[in-house]
Structure 1
């Protein structure tokens, strides 16, 4: 049996007027142009062969946002997405202007079977959302990461 694909990413959060907000990215390209609910994601990507998951999470966050993450980091429990991919994630407190995010790009054939290649950004836009809104927009399996983050932050405030 083939090993499931592994992915890693970071959840940037900020506290705004007592509310936790998380930074999510909307996937670029023509497939997701008119989609919203359920397609947003934490900045993440696949691990290279033999790569440490935390190192991959930091690399992917920088590639997809143009930002360098600074700890301390909160390790979250890995989740498994619908297609079988396992996502490792860490959260950290930070802030940015989401309109300034610069994502890396990759080529795809568009339109399909046309032989024509176009470059699309991995993330075409990013936004901070409060947790209830983020849970409506994020890939359904990744919502568990947001729930765990909320629990851990609540625990830190009580400690």
Structure 2
């Protein structure tokens, strides 16, 4: 059975147009890979409401709660990633200032380091050794057009759906 994850995609309007808050997957596997950015998301626990899981996972993955809880979240539907994982997502028009976080690498986008959940992985693969890595190592506000080439391919559909929403206030 496919894993189901739920995520919350923050979006805002900035000088260059619509931007989304993306998370970069942590660990050595994703360090140099293309399309290593994602909607902040995580596994829906058995019996858990997926929207509740999306908000919980945002907080756990990024280490801070999503702002704008008083605004309604817009359902973006679901996508199926190439490995079979189903991702349910919601959009929230909200802004978060990343200036208070330590600066991350500037390539391909200016990002901020975050401290959230960690995972234990076998590294190097099949070596018998383990390594504890962050599930997400940084976040960034990314213009939607640029985000298309950064996110896991199936999640591009979520970006299209965010653009179809009414523009949030600047």
What's the TM-score, normalizing by structure 2?
A: 0.82
Partner of 2:77: 77
Would you identify which runs of 4 or more consecutive aligned residues in structure 1 move more than 4 Å? none
Q: Which runs of 5 or more residues in structure 2 are unaligned?
A: 99-110
Q: Which runs of 5 or more residues in structure 1 are unaligned?
A: none
Q: How does 1:25-40 map to 2 (within 5 A)?
A: 25-36=23-34, 38-40=35-37
SS at match of 1:60: helix
Deviation at 1:27, TM superposition (A): 0.8
- Is the Cα contact below 8 Å between 2:76 and 2:162 reproduced in 1? yes
Q: In structure 2, how many angstroms separate the alpha carbons of the residues matched to 1:149 and 1:112? A: 36
Moved more, 56-65 or 74-83: 74-83
- Is the Cα contact below 8 Å between 2:9 and 2:92 reproduced in 1? yes
Q: In structure 2, how many angstroms separate the alpha carbons of the residues matched to 1:26 and 1:44? A: 11
Q: In structure 1, how many angstroms separate the alpha carbons of the residues matched to 2:84 and 2:124? A: 27
What's the TM-score, normalizing by structure 1?
A: 0.88
Q: In structure 2, how many angstroms separate the alpha carbons of the residues matched to 1:139 and 1:153? A: 24
1:42 aligns with 2:39: yes
1:55 aligns with 2:52: yes
SS at match of 1:14: strand
Distance 1:131 1:40, change over 3 A: same
Q: In structure 1, how many angstroms separate the alpha carbons of the residues matched to 2:84 and 2:125? A: 25
- Is the Cα contact below 8 Å between 2:54 and 2:89 reproduced in 1? yes
CA RMSD across the alignment: 1.8
Select the structure that is richer in helix: 1
1:128 aligns with 2:141: yes
In the comparison of the two structures, how many residue pairs are matched?
153
Partner of 2:107: none
For residues 76-132 of structure 1, the C-alpha deviation after alignment (integer angstroms, 9 at most, x for no partner) is: 121111122111100112223052532211111222233322110011111111010
Q: In structure 2, how many angstroms separate the alpha carbons of the residues matched to 1:150 and 1:111? A: 39
Deviation at 1:31, TM superposition (A): 0.8
